[in-house]
A = this chain, B = another copy of it.
């Protein structure tokens, strides 16, 4: 598929601006009008500002990688959470994606560490348990003295299924398994939960 042809727009300033409008349109929540306004801003802004923006985009892609321990994204060798000595290293919160960690961290109500699965079990999308970071999870639980695992997958069909699968997987391990209380509304996604909902959910976590 030549995906550029779909997004590229003709523009009186020339193809470079048309291309930029096309690229902006691909961003989430940016329609054609907004993309045009953003491109116009880039055209007329200080060259230094445009350079900063382009560099910031490139730098993110070149420096960000998953933490080798918990798979949360980081630009350091280990992520800021794993390498923070004041975090409880024996409480492990399991989430689907890095952005779920960002949501939980923004609420600043959790002081343990995380494990990012890299997705959820979803047969319809062809994602099975082997596509998640489950081997690394079991290794951590066995070797790192984890005492409690907090399931924080999204409260959706696939998220619940993934949590259930993992809790079965961990049955043989000597670890307490809890899950977030249903302060979070079923069917919604963790990424957009507010501080109160997340706090309720963490405080009221129950035996799995």
Contacts and interface: CB of A to CB of B under 8 A. Distances in A.
Nearest to A106: B12
A39 B60 contact: yes
A85 interface: no
A99 interface: yes
Interface stretch (A70-78, A155-163, A175-183): A70-78
A14 B74 contact: yes
Nearest to A63: B16
A14 B49 CA distance: 21
A136 interface: no
A73 B13 contact: yes
A28 to B, nearest CB: 5
Looking at chain A, what size class is its interface with the partner chain? 35 or more
Contacts of A12: 72, 79-81, 101-102, 105
Contacts of A76: 14
A188 interface: no
| Interface SS majority for chain A | helix
Given A37-B28, A54-B57, A43 B16 contact: no
Contact of A61 (B28, B51, B72): B51
A42 B49 CA distance: 18
Interface stretch (A18-26, A124-132, A138-146, A197-205): A18-26
A13 B19 CA distance: 29
A73 B37 CA distance: 15
A74 B22 CA distance: 17
B64 A19 contact: no
Interface of A: 4, 11-17, 19-20, 22-24, 26-30, 34, 37-44, 47, 49-61, 63-64, 72-76, 79-81, 97-99, 101-102, 105
17 contacts: A13-B75, A14-B75, A14-B80, A15-B75, A16-B56, A16-B60, A16-B64, A17-B60, A20-B57, A20-B59, A20-B60, A22-B56, A27-B41, A28-B37, A43-B73, A51-B61, A54-B55
